[in-house]
Structure formats: C-alpha cells, structure tokens
Amino acid sequence: MGTSPSHGGAQEERSTYGHRLQEPLHSRRIGAGGEAPMFLLLMSLLLAAVPSRADEIWTLLWRRWMGTPLWPPAASGDTAFVASAGGEVYALKLKEGVAIWKFKAGRMMAGPALEGMVYVGDVGGNLYGLEGTSGKVLWVRSLWGDVRFPPACGSPGAYVVTGAGILYAFDRKGNERWRVRIPSVPLSGPAVAGGLVLVPCSDGGLRAYDAEEGRLAWISDVGKVTAGPSSAGDFVLVGCGGYAKALRLGDGGVAWSRFLGGRVTGTTSSAVEAFFVTSAGWAYCLDMADGRLVWKEKVGPSGDYGITASGGRLYISGPEGATILSPRRGEILRGWSTGEPARWAQPVSKGVLVSAGGFLYLFGPFTPRSHNPLWQEWAEVRYKGVKVGYRHAWAEEDSTGFVVSTDEVNWQNGFRRTSFRALTDSSYMLGELEGEYREADQLLTVEAKVDSGLLIAERRGPEVVLRDTFEVGPLVPSFALVRHLAVDSFSDSAVRVLDVRRLVPVEERVFSGPDTLDGVGCLRLEVGDGLTVWAEGSGRTLRVWSPSLKEEIRSVPQEEALAWEPPEIPLTVPLDVELPPFRKVGELTLRFPYPVRLPSNGRQKVQRAEGCMEVKLTQSLPEDTTSPQRYLGPTIFLQTEHPEILKLAEKLSEGGEAPEERARRALDWVYSHIRPEETAAKFLTALEVLREGRGTCTEHSVLFVALCRAMGVPARAALGLLGAGRRLVPHMWAQVHLGTWVDVDPSYGQFGVDGAHLALAYADVSLKELPEAERVLQMALANWDTVEVVRVRADGDIYLPEAERLWKEANRAEQSFKDDEAIGLLRRLISLPENRLTAPALYRLGVLLVRKGRKEEAEGQLLKLLEEFPGSEEADDALYKLAEISYNKKGALKFLKRLVEEFPDSPLADDALHREAEIYLRLGERRKAEGALRLLSERYPDSPWARRGRR
C-alpha cells in the first residue's frame, strides 16, 4: 500500500477506507545495505549483464478511476478526450493518463466528438464547443430535449440528435445550420457517411439526411437497429436483431442480409470486409460485396460486445474484458480480463483504451526505461497469492560511478507507479537520489543528496515544497541491494539502509545460509524483522517473502512480470456475526486471531493472550498524552501555508476563539462541502481535496487535519477499521488535540466517534509516518481471516454472538417441528450473560413449554421474564400468556388487569379487557363485566371487541 486509502459503501457507509477499499502496502521498499563486503558483491553483479528482450510486449500502461465513461473517447495524437456520466470531460495525456484539463457540466455527458474542437452534450439539453488544447468553453447552445447520444462530426461541424427527436447541424462556431424533426424516437446518435447524416429510429426506419441542407434523402425500413450504423465505403452496415445487413449508401436499399444468430451488438469494416459481433460471443467477417462468410471466431460468453477496426486489427470489448483479433483469419492476438464487463475498447496511438467497472485502462506496448543495463531484474509482486503489480530493477554505468534504478507498478485498486534512481560514487556510496510517486494526476517527487554525512532532501507535491537536512552517515541505496545480498561473506552482518520512502536511515541485521528454492540450491537471507530473501550465489534475487504481510516478490521473465492480471482481493475483514448500524454502537469487544501492535488507551483497551488479542472499543476519550506540537506544521499532503487553505481557515476562525469551536467548524464545513465520491488518485492532498470538492474518507480527513492545523489546532490521522454489517472495512478519520486527543470522523460528521471505530495507528499525514501506519493496516488485512465479535452494546442493547447463533438455531429447530431441540437451545441462550435476546428467549421458551403441556415450567419462565424484564417488549405477551394458562380464573384476572394498567398501548390491551369481561360473566359478576366492556369501548372504540360489546 502506498499512501492512498479510499472509501466505499452506501448511505451510512459514506466513506470507508475502502468503496473502493484501501490496498495494502505492496509498494513498500524492503531494503538492506552495507559497506565494504557489500561493495564486492555489487561489483560482481555489475559484470553480469542480463540482456533485454527486443520483442514487443504489451502490458497495462495505466488505469484511472473515471466513474462510468458512457461513450468511447475521441483521440487526437497523444491526447484522448473522455466524458463520464458524472458530467465531466477530461483531456488525458495518453502516455501517462494524466489530465491536461477537465471540464465540468451537467450529468450524463454525451460524447465527446472531435473535429478541430471538442463537442459534448448533457441531459440538460446543452451542447458545448470546447477548445481542444485548453478545455475553454467557446460556445454553448441550448437544444430542445436532452442530449443522450454523442454528437457526430463532419464538415463543416457537428450533428447532434436530442431525446425530443430533433436533429441539429452546427458549424464550428456554434451557429445552427439547420434542424429537422424526426418523426420517431432516435435509438442512437447520428453517424456521418458520404455526405449523409444517418439516424436509426424506434419505428424500424434508418433515416438519411443531406448533411448540407438537412433534407431527407431516404428511409430504409430495416427493423430495430441494434448495432451501427457504420460507414463502409459505398455501404452502410447495421445490425438488426440477429441479422447483419449492408445498405447501399445511395438509396438505402438492402444490398445483402445475413442471419448470424444472437443479437448483433457491434459492427465495423475494412476496405473489402464487414465485421460483426453478436451477443452470443461470436465475431464474424463477411465479404463486403455479397455478405458471404469469410470466417467466424468465438470471443467469449454471452453478453454485450462492441467492435472497432483500426491499424489492421479488430478491437473487441465484451463481458470478460478486451480482445484484439486479426482481421484476416480471426485469430486472437491479445486479450485482457478486466474483472467486470468492458463497455468499449477504443484503439489509440499508444494502444487500446478500455472502459470497465468505472476504470479507464490503457493497454499498449511496453517501452523500456533502461538502455544497455549492466544488469536488470524483473519480478512480479503478489499479495495473498494474487498478482498486484511488478517490479523492475537495473543498473547502468555513470561517469562518476553507477546509477541503480527501480520502477514499480502497483495496480490494485487503481494504478500507482513508484520510481527511484540512485547515483553512487565509485565506491558505491549513495551520492544522489531521485524518486517519484505517480497516480492519475497526482505527482509527488523526492530529491536527496548526501554531503559529508548529511542527507539534504527536498519533497515536492501539488504546490508544496518541503526541505529537510538529516545526519545519516554513509549509506548504500537499499532498493538495489535488497536484490543482491546473497554473498557468503554476509553470513551475519549489520547493514545500514536508507529507507527511500521515509528518507531515514535504518540499521538491519542480515543472516544467510544455504537453502533450496523450487528444488534448486540457493542462499537464504533473513533480513531485518521477518523478511526472507532467496538468492543465487551470483547475487540475483529469486524470491522475497514477508510472512506477516503476506507479500511476495518473485523473479520472473520480463513478459511474465508485465502480464496484467485483475487483482480481485476483498480488502475487508469478515466478522462472525452482523453488527448493528455503526452509529448506534456504544461498545464493541472483538477477538482477533493474530496479535498486532495496536494503540491501547481510554477509548480502546487491548488485551493480549497467546495466539490472539482482544480489543474493547468504547466512546470514551483516548487519554493519549502524545505531544501535540509536531502535529501543527505542513507536510507534502497538508499545504497548511497555502493561500487557499489559509483563506478558508481564516473564514472558519472568525468569532471562534476556542480550539474546540474551530475544530467543530472545520468538521461541519468538510462534512457539508466535500462530496463522498471516488477520485482518480486514492490519496489526494488537502489542496487537491479543496479544489476537487469530493473524495473518500481519506480526503475528508486530510482536509480536516489541514484546516485544523492552519487554525492552530493540532491534528493528526487515525488509520483503522470500521465495523459495518458483517465486516470491518479500512477507514481513516482524524484526531484533534483539545487538552487530550479527541477522535473526529469528518466523513460522517462525528465529533467523538462511536464504538465501531478500531484504530490501528495514529500518524502524521506525511511520507515519513504514513507508510509505517499503513504497514499495520496491511498486516491486519493479511492475517485476520475472521474476527470474533465477543460483545456489542448498541442503543442500550447488548449483542452476544453466541446468543444470536443460538436464537437462529432455535428458530430453525422450531420451524422443523423439533420443539425439544429448540427448548434446549433456548435454555442455553438464557444461561448466557444478559443480552438483547434474553427476554425474547424466556417468552419463546414459555410458549414452547405450554405447547408441550408443561404449564408449570412455562409459568416459571414467564414470571421470570416479568421479574427481570418488566418493561420489555415481551412483557405484555407474557402477561396474556400467563392469563391463558392460569389454573383459576381469579389468577387470570390478575394478569389481565396488570396488562391493561401497565401496557395500555399494547395491541393486546383490548383483547385483555374483552377476556376480562368474559371471565366476570362466567363468575356471575355481571356488573364488573359491564365495567370492563365500558372501559373497552371508551379506550379502544375501533376495536372489534368494542363493537361486539356495544351490541
């Protein structure tokens, strides 16, 4: 996990450090370094070059969260223009997936289309003309009806159809050239072919209008169009249900029609061939002249498919992902699974853009970053056995020494690239270091230089620069040496390492000895705390394994390392029973199977036992005495000195002198103004959150912490898990220091959190402290397969998991007519400590005992219920049941009178009065019977007993 938590959930789960949940620390650098003996190792490695492959290898170049791009992008050179259903249009740099500009309009954007400028429409009936280089709005036109489908481009401008059935033509300056009303509902956006504008309609007609004048040229009654229309030279290709059809462009007549079976969902063409794809998962190539079958290929299971031709390739999207086919014979050349159905696959200059599951993917040829390396290594990174990325390390010779580089990609829950480049002198000592972290539009950089034992560092983020100087002594770049520790002279050595993420020196001990890996002899090194490295005698790393984090780095060939696999890992911790809504939880006790070092304070009490750990969570204050002073300054994520942050902080501070008042104002503002939505980068900085106006739990917390610090109130982050339903989900909230540390959850507007917040670590929002805090989170996610709920108190009720289980089993037994088994289970439930099911179990046990003819036992259970739970929901039922089973009528009257007096609003009160009147009549006390009926009529006039009593 890098520094990129996120949230998820619905309604009450407004932001959990997971709807998209936080990925673990797969990008953590595991490093070791040393002095003289290590240099001999590095020297031998530099002489053993590993040749690079020249073959073209395709991989995932980037992916970013986009919400739902409804329509394929428009591309020009190295830029792709993409619109999302959320109402945003992005111009993305294809090389990195970075947004050059973003335009926000109405929701459900249709488009874009490109013709010297960018055209997009929205459901509000607006058509926008945007400048392609800047996103500047050149003009806006209000149309009659919503714009549901992308505009089509053609000389000299754009054509757009609205939901009201009007087809418009505009020039590039936004001047309306013509409009026509279409006498049927359009099924898709217009297509331009041979001077005609084609619109398929719900009446089964494909209409062609003259592009210059808007005059109707022809109508072809082809039936309901399910694919196309697509221009194909002198023809127009359409799919109509199970039929593939070619129409003559000149008059709209059907040139040929072929039944394919399945619904035709996509069509495209080359110079002499027509291509179709169907919902049955088949791709077809037909001769353009007569529709003769050239080939067909099964491309996947049944579902919705799309197809596009470009550059001598066919690009197909479908329910399992994207596929590239050869148009000559139909063989599958490449394919990628996206985990969820791909909406479209659009070829662009860098490869193919694919939309699936809210993400935008770019698959394309890998471009090597290393040139003539002295050595290089490729490895895949796996978490809990699932591939989540790859790592590439290499070394090159420099005029003053060597350059050792690493490039790591983690694609779990997004796409993050981490790169480092270290320059050493001739004795392999670290001289300079450059690093960058890139995710979507966010770029964080680190530059460091070692001079006379001092590390002079500069960190840069969005509009923030932080400079520090540390005394570190001689260091070796750890990220290169991790892979090259296997040397006989390092059987037991102390190694001084630079933690390149936190820029702090760490001393580790390294133990080595002979071992085998996959049946091959090698060296095994135990590095630091629980890290095992297997390496060849030459120093090439074979495998790195962290058992506590369930993370593995294994050496593989380049093509295997770059191969994309969708990382489908649930980043939550299952609970053995379902919790009440977390806002109601006042106290929660959990038992964990794997001990992890957690904060223990007044709010959460940690007790450790052999092999497990128990944590009691409450709503009390933490009573943490940590000094607050270091939680006041800026970090690379907290631009507390930026004018925009300061301006808002000053506004919130007006009239609020007390720190608590300021913190509450910051909480209210963040909760009210930041929309709970996913973002492309999983951990925005405070300034980015303020400008975006949206984010998950991490973004809410980061901005809140920054505002508090800017107002002089110490604040920090809390990383942990939130109990929601039958799981613990990763979550981030905040703490403010108001004499003591107080938990605040900006995602839910909570000043003082409930008992369902489990804190794993408290940390500054900085590159120095977040990685270690996230390491604790990863350890928890990796090792807690299921967590036992010991006790819950919610809204005054106590939940015991064992009681919940016994109650369900008793219900199942009763429904299966196993009353004796149900009685035994209920007795076990009642013997447990008092909980929310004790009273219901006593009543149910009494009912079952009555059914079995054991009235005396039943009476004992029901009386116990009344004694111990006199105000429970079952008390009135118990009184009525006692009246039913009483051996004498006066005893029954006692219970009935008590029911009416103590529970006048009970649905049984009128029944009790009627029953009371009946007993009095049988006893010959008519006056008392009439009194009971009179009371029944007065209190419950709508009761059927009251009407009967009046008669």
Beta bridge partners of 723: 728
- Same domain for 587 and 442, yes or no, is no
With a pLDDT cut of 70, the percent of the chain lying above it is: 89
Q: How far out from the chain centre does Cα 424 lie?
A: 40
Rounded to an integer, what distance in angstroms lies between the CA atom of residue 286 and that of residue 280?
17
Helix ranges (DSSP H) in 654-696: 659-673, 686-692
- Same domain for 425 and 540, yes or no, is yes
| Residue 114 within a domain | yes
Say yes or no to pLDDT of 417 above 80. yes
Say yes or no to pLDDT of 294 above 60. yes
pLDDT tens-place string over residues 702-761:
999 999 999 999 999 999 999 999 999 999 999 999 988 999 999 999 999 999 999 999
What does each C-alpha distance from 702 to 209, 409, 729 come to in angstroms? 55, 25, 19
DSSP state of 53: P
Rounded to an integer, what distance in angstroms lies between the CA atom of residue 635 and that of residue 465?
9
Say yes or no to pLDDT of 33 above 80. no
Candidates 192, 39, 64, 55; CA nearest to 679 is 64
Rounded to an integer, what distance in angstroms lies between the CA atom of residue 886 and that of residue 889?
7
Residues in Cβ contact with 449 at an 8 Å cutoff, skipping those fewer than 6 apart = 431, 432, 433, 455, 456
| Residue 23 within a domain | no
pLDDT tens-place string over residues 529-566:
678 888 887 777 889 999 999 999 999 999 999 999 99
Rounded to an integer, what distance in angstroms lies between the CA atom of residue 901 and that of residue 265?
71
pLDDT number for residue 55 = 61
Say yes or no to pLDDT of 24 above 60. no
Contact 568, 339 (CB under 8 A): yes
pLDDT tens-place string over residues 803-816:
989 999 999 999 99
- Same domain for 712 and 645, yes or no, is yes
Name the domain boundary from 773, 797, 821: 797
pLDDT number for residue 623 = 67
What does each C-alpha distance from 76 to 132, 156, 197, 349, 780 come to in angstroms? 9, 18, 23, 8, 46
| Secondary structure (3-state) at 564 | coil
pLDDT number for residue 148 = 87
- Same domain for 74 and 162, yes or no, is yes
| Residue 45 within a domain | yes
| Residue 249 within a domain | no
Please give the order of strands across the beta sheet that includes 126-130: 110-114, 118-121, 126-130, 137-142
What does each C-alpha distance from 763 to 47, 362, 461, 744 come to in angstroms? 43, 35, 19, 14
- Among left, alpha and beta (phi > 0; psi -120 to 50; other), residue 214 is left
- DSSP characters over 801-869: HHHHHHHHHHHHHHHTT-HHHHHHHHHHHHHSSP-TTHHHHHHHHHHHHHHTT-HHHHHHHHHHHHHH-
Say yes or no to pLDDT of 687 above 70. yes
Q: For residue 895, which phi and psi values (nearest 5 degrees)?
A: -70, -40
Rounded to an integer, what distance in angstroms lies between the CA atom of residue 731 and that of residue 7?
7
Say yes or no to pLDDT of 46 above 50. no
Compute the mean pLDDT over every residue in the chain, rounded to the nearest whole number: 86
pLDDT number for residue 7 = 37
Number of neighbouring beta carbons within 10 Å of residue 644: 13
pLDDT number for residue 631 = 95
Q: Look at strands 342-348 and 332-337 and give their pairing.
A: unpaired
Question: Can you give the CATH number for the domain in which 585 is found?
Answer: 3.10.620.30
- Same domain for 544 and 585, yes or no, is no
| Residue 681 within a domain | yes
Say yes or no to pLDDT of 846 above 90. yes
Contact 579, 791 (CB under 8 A): no
- Same domain for 393 and 491, yes or no, is yes
With a pLDDT cut of 90, the percent of the chain lying above it is: 63
Contact 268, 307 (CB under 8 A): yes
| Residue 320 within a domain | no
Candidates 753, 769, 555, 788; CA nearest to 3 is 769
> Which of 126-140, 622-636, 649-663 bottoms out in mean pLDDT, i.e. has the lowest?
622-636
pLDDT number for residue 56 = 84
Give the count of domains, the chain: 5
pLDDT tens-place string over residues 507-521:
666 677 788 888 888
pLDDT number for residue 6 = 38
* Residue 686's pLDDT band (cuts 50, 70, 90): very high
Say yes or no to pLDDT of 111 above 60. yes
Beta bridge partners of 605: 616
pLDDT number for residue 8 = 37
> Which of 12-26, 150-164, 430-444, 595-609 bottoms out in mean pLDDT, i.e. has the lowest?
12-26
Contact 159, 168 (CB under 8 A): yes
- Region 315-323: mean pLDDT is 96
Say yes or no to pLDDT of 223 above 50. yes
Name the domain boundary from 881, 914, 935: 881
- Same domain for 760 and 876, yes or no, is no
- Same domain for 459 and 588, yes or no, is no
| Residue 155 within a domain | yes
Question: Can you give the CATH number for the domain in which 928 is found?
Answer: 1.25.40.10
- Tell me the residue range of the domain where 529 lies: 36-56+367-562
pLDDT number for residue 110 = 65
Question: Which amino acid appears at position 506 of this protein?
Answer: V
| Residue 473 within a domain | yes
pTM score, whole prediction? 0.83
| Secondary structure (3-state) at 218 | strand
Place of tokens 């805090």: 773
| The dihedral formed by the CA atoms of 792, 795, 798 and 801, expressed in degrees to the nearest 10 | -50
- Region 70-77: mean pLDDT is 87
Rounded to an integer, what distance in angstroms lies between the CA atom of residue 867 and that of residue 410?
61
> Which of 135-149, 580-594, 937-951 bottoms out in mean pLDDT, i.e. has the lowest?
937-951
- Same domain for 898 and 876, yes or no, is no
Candidates 672, 667, 638; CA nearest to 652 is 667
- Same domain for 792 and 700, yes or no, is yes
Name the domain boundary from 181, 214, 234: 181
Can you point out the beta strands (E) in 644-726?
Answer: 675-676, 694-695, 715-724
pLDDT number for residue 509 = 67
Question: Can you give the CATH number for the domain in which 156 is found?
Answer: 2.40.128.630
Rounded to an integer, what distance in angstroms lies between the CA atom of residue 40 and that of residue 36?
7
- Same domain for 757 and 811, yes or no, is no
Both tokens assigned to 878 = 């118990």
Ranked by mean pLDDT, the top range of 46-55, 240-249, 918-927 is 240-249
pLDDT number for residue 948 = 65
- Same domain for 630 and 511, yes or no, is no
